[in-house]
Structure 1
Amino acid sequence: MKVVLILGTNLGNRLDNLKRAEELIEKFVGRILRKTEIIETAPFGVVNQPSFLNYGLLIDTYHPPSELLKLLKWIEKRVGRYKTFRWGPRVVDIDIIKYENLFINTKSLKIPHPGLQHRAFFVKIYKCLSI
Structure 2
Amino acid sequence: MNVAYLSIGSNIGDRLYHLTEAVRALHSHDGIIVTSVSSIYETAPVGFTDQADFLNMVVCVETALTAQVLLEECQKVEHGLGRVRDVRWGPRTADLDILLYNSESIETENLIVPHPRMYERAFVLIPLLEIAPLKASAVKDTGVVLWKKVNGVNDLLREGE
Correspondence for 1:11: 12
Amino acid at match of 1:16: Y
Correspondence for 2:83: 81
Displacement of 1:116: 1.4
Confirm or deny that 1:56 pairs with 2:58.
Answer: yes
Correspondence for 2:35: 33
Q: Secondary structure at the match of 1:22?
A: helix
Number of equivalenced pairs = 131
Contact 1:84–1:90, Cα closer than 8 Å, also in 2: no
Displacement of 1:79: 1.1
Amino acid at match of 1:112: P
Contact 2:56–2:124, Cα closer than 8 Å, also in 1: no
Q: Secondary structure at the match of 2:56?
A: strand
Displacement of 1:117: 2.4
CA distance in 1, matches of 2:37, 2:21: 15
Displacement of 1:74: 0.6
Displacement of 1:107: 2.0
Q: CA RMSD in A?
A: 1.2
Q: TM-score, normalised by structure 1?
A: 0.95
Structure 1 stretches lacking a partner, 5+ long: none
Correspondence for 1:112: 114
Amino acid at match of 2:123: F
Q: Secondary structure at the match of 1:114?
A: coil
Correspondence for 2:92: 90
Amino acid at match of 1:10: N
Q: Secondary structure at the match of 2:72?
A: helix
Displacement of 1:120: 1.3
Deviations 1:65-92 (A, max 9, x none): 1111111101100111112211100010
Q: TM-score, normalised by structure 2?
A: 0.78
Instruction: Determine which structure has more spread, i.e. the larger CA radius of gyration.
Output: 2
Contact 1:4–1:129, Cα closer than 8 Å, also in 2: no
CA distance in 2, matches of 1:116, 1:127: 12
